[in-house]
Amino acid sequence: MTAPIPYWKFYQTEAVKKYLKGMKFLKEVINQAIDREIKASEKGEISATLLGAMVKSHLENEFTREEIFREALTFLFAGFICFLFMHLFLIYIFK
């Protein structure tokens, strides 16, 4: 259920503050990686990574920077979940 008034924008609990702090950190880290890839691409050093491919598309005006950020965040969380479930499966098998 959603609240009719987004009170978390006006009254922030500790959990909301932690979430916003964590998202700020993730934005900084991902944006630094994007900046590195853009600088490398401008020098002609195209990396063979997914981020490199998205930056190349960004330079060709196919992706916006915000789309690259959101895709990178999605892959970050997807990779974390795959890693977590792989380890849980191994623990289950070898227990």
Give residue-wise pLDDT tens across range 48-77. 777 888 888 877 888 888 888 888 888 888
**In this structure, what token pair is assigned to residue 44?**
């002609």
CA 47 – CA 30 distance, rounded (Å): 16
Give residue-wise pLDDT tens across range 6-42. 776 778 889 888 988 999 999 999 889 888 888 888 8
**In this structure, what token pair is assigned to residue 78?**
């997807």
